[in-house]
Structure 1
Amino acid sequence: MKLLLNIKKENDDLGKQVNNLANNLPLIKFLKHCTVLLLFVSSITIQAQDLPYSNGKKYILGDISVSGNTSFSEQTIITYSGLSKGKEMAIPGEDIGDAIKKLWNSKLFSDIEVYITHIEGDVAYLEIRLSDLPQLNELKINGVKKGKVEGVIKDTKLNKGVKVTENLLTTTKNFLTKKYKKEGYLNSKVHINTIEVKDSTPTARVNMVLNIDKGEKVKIKDIVFTGNEVLSDKQLRKSMKSTKKINRIRILKRSKFIDSAYQADLSNVVEKYKENGYRDARIVSDSVVYNDKKTISLQIAVNEGEQYTFGDITFIGNTVYTNEQLSRMLRINKGETYNGVLLQKRIADGSKPDADDITNLYQNNGYLFSSINPVEVSAVNNVIDLEIRISEGKPAYFNNVSIVGNDKTNDHVIYREIRTRPGQLYSKANVVRTVRELGQLGFFDAQEISPNFNNPNPNEGTIDMEYSVKETGSSQIELQGGYGGGGFIGTLGLSFNNFSIKDIFKKDAYKPIPMGDGQKLALRLQASRFYQTYSFSFSEPWLGGKRPVQFSTSISHTKQFLYNPLNGNADKSKSFNITGITFGLAKRLQVPDDFFVLSQAVSFQRYDLNNYNTGLFTFGDGYANNLSYTVGLGRNNTSVDPIYPTAGSSFNVTAKLSIPYSLFDGVDYKGLKEEYDDLNLTDSDDYARAAEIDQERYKWLEFYKINFKGEWYTQLTKDLVLKPSAEFGFLGAYNNDRGVIPFERFFLGGDGLGSYSLDGRESIALRGYPNQSLSDNDGGTIYNKFSLELRYPITLKASAKIYGLSFLEGGASYNNFRDYNPFDIKRSAGLGVRIFMPAFGLLGIDFGYGFDPLESQGEIKAHGWETHFIIGQQF
């Protein structure tokens, strides 16, 4: 920016005007400090940005003119400048500088100059001379693939019409250079050329050529340490979490060089020494050696120092907890090797909000304003004596508790999950639990839930609590596909997970459906060539609105058709119809803790057979009734995000029981069994009698069924999560003479999507094998399955959560306990990916390799690869 004073020749008294101006503006006297250009032919131009403001003279502004290459109107530019006719101002002075700043900050102009054209008494006339910044006309990008061009434009915001400034060119170049260096292209170079567009258009425009030379991807060939004697090179390299040398068998950590990660890893090396008692260890020097265009080596010199041990540890300032209590929480004893990292974690572990440390001991009992600081008071003979100085402060109480960000979900749905109430003693554990409960609702982006502490008042002992949430789509279109039961199985459903049934008759509430009360409503259609299923379900998580008691109900109907082996199609004249209804209650318990849920359900199903003869039982025309009671106990304390849990566990054990009819119905089942065993089923009369016996045995189903499933989540690193799981199921009979029923059985193998019937059967996924291939045709009465899954997130944004996984699993199905062997299982391994989108639920694909042959299919070698496409289901 520059401020210029231009005095134009108006009459023969030019010399007198110059002398007068020189007397008022002593700029000409200081040629060593300012540049002065005198144009005696037509004008005198004075550069005056260095003039002291104190020497300025007051003038009244006359007319202001605008000149230069600009498409903006004169009035628009004058308005931008803040100058106006009739305004009194000093020249030179702050007003002129402010006008130039305003024009410059608009980011519309360049070469901004302000001139005095002439002066009449105390009236000064100004001219603003400037040029428009050029707009981007066309952009050409060289050096990247066509598919990446749009991404570069989006990242750099180089859209047509953007103003091209020096700052834009610099930031674009720096951004792209850093971007490619982060990807391992350490020698990347970016060049930008602009070419002026010359045409009749008044707007200044330029074409831009963006040349990107990423060069070769640079990897770390070796990491060499010098000066280390106590810790080996291998130990130090292992402490570097993100900086790794080339290793062909390593998959998750790549060997590219990223400077920011490298600097962080140098600190990790020092931390490694501190963990082993060498608190004075430091990095003496480090350097990057370029081997060639593709590889570098890192050379790091360390000074290990001497090893220290813990001495006396004294607590000062504690009144709420005794020294013994704090010592038990610290769990560090005199004489142990000094570990500064462990010490800090035991005092305040920043990596875990619910860590078992001294800070949380105070924070969970109201002492929000407490502080705990370890101070080294002595280090004689390498023995460090510590004082842990505690400032407890006053207990804090919640004053106001509020929610922001919920546009669809009603306030009462959120407030009933909040564990922090106005007037309640502050507890960090309750804040952490509230965040977890809000995330588990599924209505909000779990990664964006933020507890904000407002208006802390240590003197009064109060704090305002605000929970910030970001809503996501809670309604889903369910699309599910897979192969099972002899053909393709498709599912179409609508699931409204934040429904409001009380507004169902309010016309204004349909946007597009009544929402906000946290209820769930689902309509579902599932079909293949061999069956059709229709179902409706509804659940209210807080029945009555005062307690977390969930009420649920469902109604369903399915029609199955018998497979015709001659043509491979469904025989529509032979059908099996099932109609069912279920009512359930689930209550959150307080003992042993409030993560436990006790669930109960009563269900009834009616099975009608129409010429439906299979190997399950002898009668093909008849019916069966299934009245059962299910009780379950579960505990789920997984971390905030239900789609990608990183910690905690979930287990559930259920028992499904029928009434023991054989105790009181007066039927001689032992005699019926003996008679049945003596029948010749190849004889038509005997077969008819067998059908009558089966009809009597299965008129009312009698059974008990036990299921267990447990999952555990462990965060190995910041992103990597290990998920082991185990499952077990058993179907039994009260009366062995009556026998195990042909319904409610387990079908193991495949993607788990083959659960097309409502006869109580369960399809258990075991990847690497075809659907239901690991059970008999009639299903098993016992099964177990073990799985180990390693997950890594690609993105956890609300619009789409994506993570990759690898798995090892095994399982088997059995017909009785005589054959049961939990170690005789079919094994598999593979890779997969999951994508969760709020509108469609979970999508995924798995590639599994079965290590064992399927003897039932005549295989003698490993089964090999199977591909499983998953829509709407999570393992």
Structure 2
Amino acid sequence: MKAGSKFLNAVSAFALSASVVASGSGVMVLASAASAEAAVIRSVQVRGAQRAGEEAVRSNLTIQPGVTFSGADIDESVKRLYATGYFSDVKISVSGSSLVVTVAENELVNQVVFNGNRKIKDDKLAGVVQTQPLGPYSQAMVNADIERLRTAYSQIGRSDVEITTQTVNVGQGRVNIAFVINEGDRTKIADINFVGNQAYGDGRLKAVIATKESGPLSFLTRKDVYSQDKLRADEDALRQFYYNHGYPDFRIVSSDAQLDTTTNKYTINFTVEEGARYQFGDVNVESSVEGVSGDDLKGLVETKPGSVYDAREIQKSMEAISKQVASKGYPFARVTPRGDRNLQTNTIGVSYMVDQGERAYVERIEIRGNTRTRDYVIRREFDFSEGDAFNQEMISRAKRRLEALGYFTSVNISTTQGSAADRVVVVVDVEDQSTGSFGIGAGYSAGGDGFILEASVEEKNFLGRGQYVRIAAGGGLNDSRTYTLSFTEPYFLGYRLAAGFDVFRSETSSNDNYDYSETGFTLRVTAPITEDLATTFRYTYKQIEYEASDSEYADLSPVYQDLVDHGKYTQSSVAQTLTYNTLDSQTLPREGIYATFTHEFAGLGGDSEFYKLSGRARYFQTLSTEADLIGSLSVGAGHVIATGDNLNVFDQFTLGGRQVRGFDNNGIGPRTKADGDALGGTTYFTVSADASMPFPAVPEDIGLRLAAFADAGTLYGNDVKANKADVEGTGMSWRASVGVGVMWASPFGNIRMDYAIPVVKEDFDETQEFRFSMANQF
């Protein structure tokens, strides 16, 4: 029994016996328990607080001189003193008119060290434990730290870790503590099995879940680490996959992990029941909200009769309807989908029921689990704040936005009852992930720059503020150099505006005839129009310079002699871009459209005067779900018009290997006959077809894919002041190439290698058959 409880019992018994207590001013009679619990003291005496100090003790007492107190106050004071962690024993008693507090102090921690750890570094473990230098030493805290360390090791697949502690007294009430760690062997995952799946093979389902079978490179990815939390997350991923692909009756019958202690490997088994595949039947919207017609809301519905059942489309429809009704003055409106199954036709009719909903307000938003990303970065993705009306559809929208950021491995949003019946607490649980990356791009050109290399470093969540930073540099053997610095603030001035800048410089030597350099900057701001559509405004300023020695000058065509004579040019332009993005994944899209349209005007000072139109759209579609065969088709076009006398060489479009693989950068289109320098063109068209599938005979969860593609494009027209006899390739001549590629979502990053053969080309075109690129997370 604690000292405070003993004292309370003594006080009660003392009061009931109506004893007489002598005080300095006379005699006081305690006639009842009630009078005993209303005691008053004149002073507080503290004993034993040598290191903590008397004031530290007094500040944790709920009892003050001259103020009545009860036994409950004594109990609370004892609890508070124990909770500080600085005391191993606390006793409170009354002596005359004084409250006497006697404490025995815990030893202080002088140093915390970790021995035997190799897989997790000291600084990481120090962030896990709560026992810290200059803090109190508590065996209960140490025991809790051991469990925290076990959890940390289980997350990297070392569940059989053994942890003990050693303490050394260094005098003056201080101790050193060492956590002695035997890391043990790493558990692995031998097999992941699925039972009951017919629509999708094991390989396709293994690609859906985050847990992977152990392989030669698993020590880098750590995706073969088993945990109960990951197993539950994998179950949710499987459900969402089936719900989004026409199987609303899908359920997981069971899932379990069996450990073979002889090999230290797990076998994970999922038993599933897919159910029938459904399509959407009739779709209706019914509203009981006064002044809001269901027919008027039907245009917001994305679920179309005859299309494959997709839970994502239902959710988006609910959000769109809820947003529209809220804008009409009904912030508490609730949208409830009701399904009507037809087992004969395997269709589900959906009726969206709109009603007033219950009045509820957001009491607070509680964010947990973010160790790097700052709270305000998460909060700003919500369309409401504390005190606003609560709406469930806004929760779903915020969850989708947070997942799209790419900052977290998991996002879970739940609600709990607030302090009143109409108050709701929104709880956001997230887990940070690596958001930095480095990239390497390489290629080889038979002419021009020969071997070309580019390296970049980028961070999508700089300092946990959600800011984007990228630095890139590249070069070729022919004295070409490029440098770029980019920065983006996604919420400029607190609004949903992504503002940023780019600073760039490039230098190149063309066929040893002249040197070209380009230096400038871009200011940009992007604003969302809808969830899928955004607009970007840009201002760009460039300074362009051409140089050549006397001997080189003599070999130049008249066009480039004019450029060298002029020396420096400036270009000042404004542009607007519309971006439409419905991709289901930014890393490996299987469905959706990504399209951009840009128009640009140059003439705000400087040497360039033109108006440009350009656009590109790419459509992705899964051609075979069983084979995970993904097809894509893209088209692009552009046209530039001179608003002054003529266009400069650098005002026209260029076309090459980025759009038509198999050709060098700027390898297609008009160029000078004398030295083969690209002039660019006024008009271009491109088209490309691509298909990819998992590499045959290789487990799909390794991430290796085989691609085949066909590209075609043309760049023609020339408005540069030049003698036509000195220019070739101005006609509308199409080029085409076919090729194969290998994509690998490797532990080192996303790697792609393409080999393309031009099948239609002109004699003066420059080719580049092989391209390589890599990007990696860190």
Letter of the structure 1 residue corresponding to residue 134 of structure 2: G
Paired residues of 1:655 and 1:704 also in contact (CA < 8 A): yes
Shift of 1:213: 1.5
Shift of 1:819: 8.2
Paired residues of 2:210 and 2:230 also in contact (CA < 8 A): yes
Structure 2 residue aligned with 1:96: 74
The answer as to 2:677 corresponding to 1:778 is yes
1:709 to 597, 616, 623: 616
Shift of 1:260: 1.6
Residues 555-704 of structure 1 mapped to structure 2, 5 A cutoff = 556-562=542-548, 571=549, 573=550, 613-614=556-557, 634-638=577-581, 649-652=594-597
Structure 2 residue aligned with 1:242: 210
Structure 1 residue aligned with 2:25: none
Structure 1 residue aligned with 2:478: 486
Deviations 1:171-196 (A, max 9, x none): 433333333333333x2425141404
Match of 1:81, SS? coil
Q: In structure 1, how many angstroms separate the alpha carbons of the residues matched to 2:608 and 2:285?
A: 68
When normalised by structure 2's length, the TM-score is 0.56
Q: In structure 1, how many angstroms separate the alpha carbons of the residues matched to 2:85 and 2:212?
A: 44
Residues 146-295 of structure 1 mapped to structure 2, 5 A cutoff = 148-156=121-129, 159-185=132-158, 187-199=159-171, 201=172, 203-213=173-183, 215-223=185-193, 225=195, 234=202, 241-243=209-211, 254-266=223-235, 283=253, 286=256, 288-290=258-260, 292-295=262-265
Q: How many residues align?
A: 628
Q: Which runs of 5+ in 1 are unaligned?
A: 8-19, 28-51, 399-417, 460-468, 501-515, 543-547, 563-570, 576-609, 659-699, 751-763, 791-803, 836-843, 871-875
Q: In structure 2, how many angstroms separate the alpha carbons of the residues matched to 1:435 and 1:280?
A: 23
Q: In structure 2, how many angstroms separate the alpha carbons of the residues matched to 1:822 and 1:539?
A: 34
Q: In structure 2, how many angstroms separate the alpha carbons of the residues matched to 1:223 and 1:712?
A: 33
Paired residues of 1:279 and 1:308 also in contact (CA < 8 A): no
Structure 1 residue aligned with 2:356: 393
Match of 2:60, SS? helix
Shift of 1:135: 1.9
Structure 1 residue aligned with 2:14: 24
Bigger Rg, structure 1 or 2: 1
Residues 696-845 of structure 1 mapped to structure 2, 5 A cutoff = 707-710=614-617, 726=634, 728=636, 777-779=676-678, 781=681, 784=686, 786=688, 816=729, 820-821=733-734, 823-825=736-738
Match of 1:96, SS? helix
Q: In structure 1, how many angstroms separate the alpha carbons of the residues matched to 2:13 and 2:564?
A: 120
Q: In structure 2, how many angstroms separate the alpha carbons of the residues matched to 1:163 and 1:730?
A: 70
Report sequence identity in percent.
11
Q: In structure 2, how many angstroms separate the alpha carbons of the residues matched to 1:535 and 1:134?
A: 59
Match of 1:824, SS? strand
Q: In structure 2, how many angstroms separate the alpha carbons of the residues matched to 1:159 and 1:765?
A: 57
Deviations 1:40-65 (A, max 9, x none): xxxxxxxxxxxx98795665546644
Q: In structure 1, how many angstroms separate the alpha carbons of the residues matched to 2:467 and 2:282?
A: 60
Match of 1:80, SS? coil
The answer as to 2:306 corresponding to 1:371 is no
Deviations 1:697-719 (A, max 9, x none): xxx999998744335689999xx
Q: In structure 1, how many angstroms separate the alpha carbons of the residues matched to 2:466 and 2:253?
A: 51
The answer as to 2:114 corresponding to 1:140 is yes
Q: In structure 1, how many angstroms separate the alpha carbons of the residues matched to 2:108 and 2:608?
A: 83
Letter of the structure 2 residue corresponding to residue 290 of structure 1: D
2:61 to 60, 81, 103: 81
The answer as to 2:89 corresponding to 1:111 is yes
Structure 1 residue aligned with 2:695: none
Q: In structure 2, how many angstroms separate the alpha carbons of the residues matched to 1:331 and 1:770?
A: 45
Paired residues of 1:236 and 1:269 also in contact (CA < 8 A): no
Letter of the structure 1 residue corresponding to residue 544 of structure 2: T
When normalised by structure 1's length, the TM-score is 0.51
Deviations 1:416-475 (A, max 9, x none): xx999xxxx9999999999999999x9x99x99x9x9xx9xx99xxxxxxxxx9999999
Structure 2 residue aligned with 1:838: none
Match of 1:778, SS? coil
Paired residues of 2:284 and 2:298 also in contact (CA < 8 A): no
Q: In structure 2, how many angstroms separate the alpha carbons of the residues matched to 1:112 and 1:484?
A: 74
Instruction: Indicate how the Cα distance of structure 1 residues 867 and 744 shifts in structure 2: closer, same or farther if over 3 A, else same.
Output: same
Letter of the structure 2 residue corresponding to residue 481 of structure 1: A
Q: In structure 1, how many angstroms separate the alpha carbons of the residues matched to 2:250 and 2:687?
A: 51
Paired residues of 1:611 and 1:620 also in contact (CA < 8 A): no
Match of 1:637, SS? strand
Paired residues of 1:625 and 1:701 also in contact (CA < 8 A): no
Structure 1 range deviating more: 69-78 or 845-854: 845-854
Paired residues of 2:107 and 2:136 also in contact (CA < 8 A): yes
Paired residues of 1:637 and 1:650 also in contact (CA < 8 A): yes
Shift of 1:615: 7.9
Shift of 1:209: 2.0
Q: In structure 1, how many angstroms separate the alpha carbons of the residues matched to 2:523 and 2:481?
A: 24
Q: Which runs of 5+ in 2 are unaligned?
A: 18-31, 362-381, 423-460, 510-514, 528-533, 693-703, 717-728
Paired residues of 1:768 and 1:828 also in contact (CA < 8 A): no
Letter of the structure 1 residue corresponding to residue 595 of structure 2: S
Residues 118-129 of structure 1 mapped to structure 2, 5 A cutoff = 119=95, 123=97, 126-129=100-103
Q: In structure 2, how many angstroms separate the alpha carbons of the residues matched to 1:865 and 1:474?
A: 32
Paired residues of 2:616 and 2:634 also in contact (CA < 8 A): yes
Q: In structure 1, how many angstroms separate the alpha carbons of the residues matched to 2:635 and 2:238?
A: 42
Letter of the structure 1 residue corresponding to residue 260 of structure 2: Y
Q: In structure 1, how many angstroms separate the alpha carbons of the residues matched to 2:72 and 2:134?
A: 33
Shift of 1:136: 4.4
Q: In structure 1, how many angstroms separate the alpha carbons of the residues matched to 2:634 and 2:662?
A: 17
Letter of the structure 2 residue corresponding to residue 824 of structure 1: S
Deviations 1:657-694 (A, max 9, x none): 99xxxxxxxxxxxxxxxxxxxxxxxxxxxxxxxxxxxx
Structure 1 residue aligned with 2:719: none
Deviations 1:102-139 (A, max 9, x none): 212333322222345xx5xx545624122135324131
Shift of 1:830: 5.6
